[in-house]
Amino acid sequence: MDYIAKMLKKKTEDLSFIQIKNNAQLKDKVYDMVDIPLPILTNSLIQAVKGRDDQEIDLSKVIDGIIYLLGIGDADFPYIDKYKILIRKISPEIEEVILFKAMDSFKEGDIESNLISIRALLSLNPDHVKALFQYAIVLETIGKSLLEKEDIDGGEEVLRLSTLNFERILDIDKEYSLAYYKLGYHYRYLSQYIKTDLIWGKFLKFSSDELLKEEIREELDVIKDEVNFETAISYISYSDYKKALDFILKLLPNHEESWNVNYLIGKCYNGLGQTESAIEYFNAAIKYNVEESDLYNDLGVLYYNIGEIYNAITTFTEGLKYNQEDYKLIFNRSLMYSVLEEYEKALEDAKRAYELNPDNSIAEQIKWLEEQI
């Protein structure tokens, strides 16, 4: 059960049920609802029957009760489908009525009433775009409030649900500009910068609100470096180092001392076979972050690939000053000692690496080294 369902489950206590008799009258209209209990808010029950014949119930109280039941999400209630039929018979414009009720409560800051009304409307019409948007907005409001109260798990869960509802809107109406507007902020919060860039680009395409468009243009300018960085990483994952380099080099003027930027440039040059440039940028990355073990591993392996075994050993050893229990650095140095036929040093490193990470490949290397000795 999700956070919102749990939150509303207790609201079932606010409902009571009344049984109407055969030919019972609901404010001048007769409905075939024999043997079906009708939901009504407990606080309204006394007022609903006070001063009236016991055969007559105030219609608005029944409508409110059905809306409330639909909104708190008790989908397993046995008469839920009949309630939906009844409420549409009573009020053919019920969707507009509920939406107005929801928007009014939201303006008044009554988030809970807004939530119940919107969920009721979506129970009647799951594809109601305006209701989906309002639902996503109120979920966003609740999620932010939970995060401010340091309920991280609850806040993140509700925000994810908000995001899903904004996305659902676009499945129904691909030109609903405000959904693009809000989704961009959600994706940025999740550090999904490529998606943020794409979704805000569509907002600029479909929106006619010049003030909001100017706001988004400014936001896009703020995240352009993050977009280039994430795009470069994406191309690297597909081994398209040339395209990756085009994007990552755009960051260098403003991020010359970023170890991440220098490291990625080094990986690109290494992937393109430009060894000298790769070594230069790997060393620059180490200069700005001496504690990142992957930098030493990549540089050491690069030295090995070009036959500079002693430089590789020096690099792995330097990395171990800051990462004494990094088994990859230790095992890679063991392999270098093996190449130089310094088997005792290699075995010592291999055994140490195995203690840190008892992997089969390391065990096989130990066995081989023992045979050599």
**Which pLDDT value is given to residue 79?**
84
Bigger pLDDT: 288 vs 57 = 288
**Residue that wins the pLDDT comparison between 18 and 70:** 70
Burial 56-95 (b: 16+ CB within 10 A, else e): ebbbebbbbbbbbbbbbbbeebebeeebbebbeebeeebb
CB of 249 within 8 A of CB of 229?
no
**pLDDT over 60 at 85, yes or no:** yes
Kindly indicate the confidence band of residue 231, based on its pLDDT and cuts at 50, 70 and 90. Answer: very high
Instruction: Supply the pLDDT for residue 28.
Output: 45
Q: Give dist(CA 94, CA 83) in Å, integer.
A: 12
- Give the model confidence (pLDDT) of 122-166 as tens digits: 999 999 999 999 999 999 999 999 999 999 999 999 999 999 999
Question: Per-residue confidence at 11, pLDDT binned at 50, 70, 90?
Answer: confident
- Percent pLDDT > 70 in the chain is 90
Residue 259 phi, psi dihedral angles, 5° rounding = -65, -35
pTM metric for this prediction: 0.83
Instruction: Report d(CA 119, CA 137) in Å as an integer.
Output: 13
Structural domains in the chain?
1-91 (no CATH), 252-372 (1.25.40.10)
Identify the band that residue 55 occupies on the pLDDT scale cut at 50, 70 and 90: very low
| Cα end-to-end distance, the chain, whole Å | 62
Pairwise CA distance, residues 359 & 109, whole Å = 58
* Statement: residue 218 has pLDDT above 70: yes
Contacts of 290 (CB under 8 A, 6+ apart): 322
Mean pLDDT of 279-306: 96
C-beta of residue 337 within 8 angstroms of C-beta of residue 349: yes
Q: Are the C-beta atoms of residues 131 and 121 closer than 8 Å to each other?
A: yes
How would residue 30 be classed by pLDDT, with cut points 50, 70 and 90?
very low
